[in-house]
Chains A and B, each alone.
Chain A
């Protein structure tokens, strides 16, 4: 597998603050890679280092095979959207894209490409207006267009939807999804739902440390494998004890009670969930309970994220 972005031991210290610690990460080419973490996790620092705006204290990084260095050559390979994008107010949106395009060389089809980009991000009507008149959402859209204008191998987006209203957010997420296969999208966010909807890969960062990096579905799967969600009708206090006594069950907790229905979370030994499921079915029949549900739990990224962060805090 080729890497669009590769970092090895990337570390960044500011005065008294360890913003990023030993980040080693490979972002597969062509992926939509969500860089997830709470505020202050080090996401923006990592993106700024990759964009060449901050220098790593130690470690190295490359973008599309070009080493990240102060000279700025690696920036031929990338487009970057800052969290709060700023442009020259005296330029129009179209002039802004022309300005950025010139850094990437002459192209006879440039004007057509720029028109297409303005259309694609939904600001074609405002293309000839000065950017000083743009709203925050329009600046964000122009920011995405300027990140794409040089046809880069990688685009880095720092919180691309944080300043947008729900419609704008949906549009941008749809656009990011469309970019799959066209370029590699590496974006930071703290909105877990967006990552689950758009990203095929995810890395979780907390306190400057990489907690986990994996394909999104694999990450979700790794947490659902040994967890069962069991819903029983007519369950009493003895049911909890009975479920806990089934071979292969490591723990049972009551998630909710709703009238006569009780939902349990049953954790099993690794690889034992199939056997446990069958045992639970027998247990329900023997105990005269109504088995409403007995399936592997479906976790969302938020739960996984919180579990990973919790684990790290416990380990610390």
Chain B
């Protein structure tokens, strides 16, 4: 194929509508997954979260060994102990730290501009980065640690945890990395430096908890409460619809804002 055979008359300008919004999505997604797999981020996140999950699974034994039970009987239920440590901030922190440079890092290295010279839409970049990060984090920060915890709990407590509950929790808890990755990506479209992105993301992470102590509805409606909501739903506890609505609304705002800003941006 050469230039002569491809060229058209100058006035026969074709419409730029062949690829659509997700032009180049598949190729860029593949690159993103390879980037995660070959890099150390996934390994570090997986190791830290798995170690934390394994430790919290055997906490009753650790506490009993220390002799500081405080008079409160410790549950020896394997399911309760598998899910014991998942109310904390380990996964939100890991997701935030692992994803805060997804966009700014590429911008700084110049590879974002290079990729954008290919048949690739800005929307595809955001969507592929989000999907790859959430997918990898769901595996290394949720599925693997929970699997390890289930194995440890089965041995330690002599009974298999309720796998249905654990699986439902795993699926619902994927909303946690989904939110934090969307947050850091959206911030990455508007804030130039990784430090700024991290600072604002930490504020979003902790501010609702602080405000929630004063005005409970703020804490309940905050998207950062989605992890607690997943736990409540999986274990059959009362779960607030306001939390789910807050999560869905926040995700919609982040997606629209990121797309609008990134589409207009020059790199």
Contacts and interface: CB of A to CB of B under 8 A. Distances in A.
Nearest to A100: B118
Nearest to B108: A86
B3 A184 contact: yes
A74 B16 contact: yes
Contact of A67 (B13, B30, B116): B13
Contacts of A103: 24, 27, 118-120
- For A2, A90, A103, the residue with the greatest tally of chain B CB atoms inside 10 Å of its CB is A103
**Per DSSP, are chain A's interface residues mostly helix, strand or loop, or mixed?**
loop
B39 to A, nearest CB: 7
B132 to A, nearest CB: 14
Interface string B118-133: 1111100000000000
Contacts of A2: 4, 7-10
Nearest to B110: A86
B17 A73 contact: yes
Contact of A71 (B23, B31, B113): B23
Interface in B1-25: 1-4, 6-10, 12-21, 23-24
Contacts of A86: 109-111, 113-114
A90 B13 contact: no
A164 interface: no
A10 to B, nearest CB: 14
B1 A151 contact: yes
Contacts of B65: none
Chain B interface main SS type? loop
A51 B116 CA distance: 8
Nearest to B122: A70
A2 B7 CA distance: 6
B267 interface: yes
A80 interface: yes
A54 to B, nearest CB: 5
Contacts of A48: 266
Contacts of B77: none
A67 B15 contact: yes
B28 to A, nearest CB: 8
Contacts of A26: 10
Interface string B153-177: 0000000000000000000000000
B31 A99 contact: yes
Interface string A68-99: 11111111111010101111111000000001
B12 to A, nearest CB: 6
A62 B15 CA distance: 10
A102 B113 CA distance: 18
A67 B16 contact: yes
Contacts of B27: 99, 102-103
Given A53-B113, A53-B266, A86-B111, A67 B119 contact: no
Given A66-B14, A182-B3, 9 more contacts: A51-B117, A67-B16, A72-B19, A72-B118, A72-B121, A82-B117, A103-B120, A154-B3, A183-B3
6 contacts: A62-B13, A71-B17, A82-B117, A85-B114, A86-B114, A99-B31
